[in-house]
Amino acid sequence: MGRLRAALLGVTAAGAATAVLEHRPPAGSERWQRSNYADRTVSLLGGVAQAAGATAALLGAGRPGVAAAVATGTGGLLGAVDDLTEREGDRHVKGLRGHLTALRQGQVTTGALKIAGIGGGAVVAALLLPTRSPHRLGRLAERATGAALVAGTANLLNLFDLRPGRALKVTCAAGAALALAGGPGAPVAATALGTAAAGLPDDLAERTMLGDTGANALGAALGTAVAAHPSRVLRGGALATVVGLTLLSERVSFSRVIEQTPVLRAVDQWGRR
């Protein structure tokens, strides 16, 4: 019942945030309009609603929820800064490697600032989560793994936000799996699932898009849910997967892989206009 309640709270919070933002968009609706992959005009307010709704709903999910709210709120805020203030010269810089390379060359991109900020939020979230090791080094390792999971998953989900509904479908699938896995992070995962499900219709219809704001926020929530799980095997396996996929994304196009795999292509295209 706790997980169901958390999912329903996520749906309600996302719906309320959407209604408020549509009624009174900050700085006007045109400020948030962008062109998507098909050159259709969509609104980034969908991502803002996801970030705001998830952050508010997570506060009701106990101590892991508070940690997740910190990570989600930070991810959403830094994502919004990147969405709204990205400079023309930064747009050619893509991926984690691109931003770090630019930083070594003395160019501070908005993406690099976002990486640093989300990393800081991830550390705070990891410090708020309970540890289980009786040894100091063990606790330090848990904190480090947790922070890496939160920051890494926030970045990874953003890499899927290239087609309508794709990142939200990933969130729903991962959130459902983590909610069923149980543990202290299950309500956090259920909240992310409910929030994402509420935003899916508008995203699939290409009325809205997540942008960095929504993708970073939901990714951080999923990362916190994993970090809160008591199984070291699950946490370690998840971190290896996140790191592996992030490194793979520097060389392989996820969109191309999805297009060339019939099952993935069918799931990816489901529900689109």
- What pLDDT digit, counting tens, does each position of 64-74 carry? 999 999 999 99
Task: Say what the pLDDT of residue 134 is.
Answer: 85
**Which residues, 6 or more positions from 3, have their beta carbon under 8 angstroms from its beta carbon?**
179, 186, 187, 189, 190
Question: pTM to 2 decimals?
Answer: 0.91
Task: Say what the pLDDT of residue 92 is.
Answer: 55
Interval 230-242 mean pLDDT: 95
Q: Is the pLDDT of residue 172 over 70?
A: yes
pLDDT band at 234 (very low <50, low <70, confident <90, very high): very high
Which domain, by its residues, includes 80? 2-269
Per-residue burial over 253-266, b = 16 or more CB atoms within 10 Å of its CB, e = otherwise:
ebeeebeeeeeeee
Tally of domains in the chain: 1
Tell me which H or E stretch contains 41: strand 41-43
Task: Say what the pLDDT of residue 101 is.
Answer: 66
Q: How large is the angle between the packed helices 232-249 and 211-227, nearest 10 degrees? A: 150
Q: For the segment 86-133, what is each residue's pLDDT rounded down to a tens digit? A: 654 445 555 556 556 665 666 656 667 788 899 999 999 999 999 888
Handedness of CA 26, 29, 35, 38 (dihedral sign): positive
Is the separation of the CB atoms in 272 and 203 below 8 Å?
Answer: no
Task: Say what the pLDDT of residue 89 is.
Answer: 47
Q: Is the pLDDT of residue 207 over 80?
A: yes
Interval 215-230 mean pLDDT: 97
Task: Say what the pLDDT of residue 250 is.
Answer: 87
